[in-house]
Amino acid sequence: MTKGKVDALLGIVFGDEGKGKVVDYFTPRYDVVARFAGGPNAGHTIIFEGKKFVLRSIPSGIFDEGKINIIGNGCVIAPDLFMAEARELENAGYQLTERLHISRRAHLILPTHRVLDRAYEAAKGKNKVGTTGKGIGPTYSDKAARVGLRVGDIMENFEAKYQALKARHAQLLSDMGFEYDITEEEKLWLEGVDYMRKFHLTDTEIEINRYLAEGKSVLAEGAQGSLLDIDHGTYPFVSSSSTTSGGVCTGLGIAPNTIGRIFGIFKAYSTRVGSGPFPVELFDETGDTIRHIGNEYGAVTGRNRRCGWVDLVALKYAIMINGVTDLVMMKGDVLDGFSTIKVCTAYTKDGVTTTEMPYDTEGWEAVYEEIPGWNTPLTEMRTYDELPQAFKDYVAYLERELSTPISIVSVGPDRDATIIR
Ligand code: IMP
């Protein structure tokens, strides 16, 4: 934690790195927790005081009474889903309205954005992105096209603005011949819009900069992962926001020189949900074992996650793009049962081998190096010294290859199975 600075906590692969678990460790150290990109496509599973919550749009600092939580301008927000998420927290006894501030510049996801998401996916057929269906792409498209609705629009002449954008979407959907019915969904959505009015809908960029000037510490909580970034991910199989450290600046309205440390989270192996290139994907029993032991099923959609070995090409690229200062390695224990562990060190295609992320990641195969596994359960271990030498060698190998320290390793689902080095 750095006083007067913004530290970032970012998933640096395809999302689902386990951010939800480590925020438990991170949030108590910060005064403010802010989300800067994405929306309800995220699902951060947090176990707090024995209860399980899946946070989609709300920052993880919400469980800590003293913290300010911010949904920044780079985010998109679905009023109905936000209402459901917020009410669940209110019902569990958390007071939200004073501590959750939402940027007036964040964009609203309309019910028709979700329909458009489905329609565009259907039109793409086998080339579909495999989106979460939450309307993310169409909402960011409208933002870029300068026709979107923002949270600030809720406060003035909202009905007319809503009807105008809805009509625009209806035209697009009719041109595509896509049938839909949003009657029920729309009712709930409008109720959600009303519900949002009780929150601080404000200029969060001014607020955050004021906190920084006062010497407060801010944690920028990432969503998705760097390889789903609209610019640097495996386009077009990406999400539509800036999920990298650059996105922290634009998504919160803070300057690059206010950034302190950048924590890059990855798992001891790799996963991906949805379509798109994934050279390390395992289609065999090993992949099934990792999925089963790692419980690799989507928090938002319930889909099977595709599983594979750790990918140094992807990690090096993500570390470079983000300027990662510290790595956090999650789920080391999932590999407990393997006597040999593979690490992807390069990609190969048509006789060409590269260690740099190719422009078109389609069709590349992984080149592996094998290293000995530890074959010992790690879950009960609480200090770095206790960990088996083979595990420490794996960590040292990754640090050497990635030229970045692994400052935290997680060896089990419990909050105290997080070992700080
Ligand atoms: P969208 O963000 O719903 O448009 O989905 C675009 C791609 O990003 C799809 O492959 C999704 O599976 C993936 N995706 C979006 N959000 C997440 C996330 O939080 N974790 C992992 N994958 C995600």
What is the best residue among 41, 117, 120, 226 to mutate for testing ligand 1's pocket, by most ligand atoms within 8 Å of CB? 41
**How far, CA to CA in Å, does 6 sit from each of 32, 34, 182?**
9, 9, 40
Please report the pLDDT score of residue 1 as a whole number.
75
CA atoms within 13 A on the CB side of 367: 12
Which residue has better confidence, 339 or 299? 339
Return the pLDDT at 50.
Answer: 75
HSE-CB for 296 with a 13 A CA cutoff: 27
With H, G, I as helix, E, B as strand and everything else as coil, classify residue 363. Answer: coil
Protein residue with its CA nearest to atom 1 in ligand 1: 131
Q: How many CA atoms lie within 13 A of 256 on its CB side?
A: 5
Beta strands at 259-267 and 6-11: parallel, antiparallel or unpaired: parallel
Per-residue model confidence (pLDDT) at position 49: 72
Separation CA 400–CA 86 (nearest Å): 43
**What mean pLDDT is predicted for residues 356-382?**
94
Mutate to test the pocket of ligand 1, among 132, 143, 267, 330 (most ligand atoms within 8 A of CB): 132
Task: Determine whether the shortest distance from the Cβ of 228 to ligand 1 is under 6 A.
Answer: yes
User: What pLDDT is stored for residue 18 in this prediction?
Assistant: 87
* 3-class DSSP assignment, residue 30: coil
- Three-state secondary structure call for residue 34: strand
pLDDT of residue 23: 82
pTM for the complete prediction? 0.95
Q: Is the CB of residue 27 less than 8 Å from the CB of residue 64?
A: yes
- Distance (Å) from CA 142 to ligand 1 centroid: 18
Judged against a pLDDT cut of 90, whether residue 238 lies above it is answered with yes
Q: What percent of the chain has pLDDT over 70?
A: 100
Question: For 57-92, what is each residue's pLDDT tens digit?
Answer: 999 999 988 899 999 999 999 999 999 999 999 999
Cβ(84)–Cβ(103) under 8 Å?
no
Lowest mean pLDDT among 152-156, 317-321, 347-351, 410-414: 410-414
Q: Which residue has the higher pLDDT, 244 or 66?
A: 244
Distance in angstroms (rounded) separating the CA atoms of residues 45 and 58: 12
What three-state secondary structure class fits 169?
A: helix
pLDDT at 299 over 80: no
Q: Enter the tokens of residue 350.
A: 């048509």
Return the higher-pLDDT residue of 421 and 112.
112
Q: Is any atom of ligand 1 closer than 6 Å to the C-beta of 241? A: no
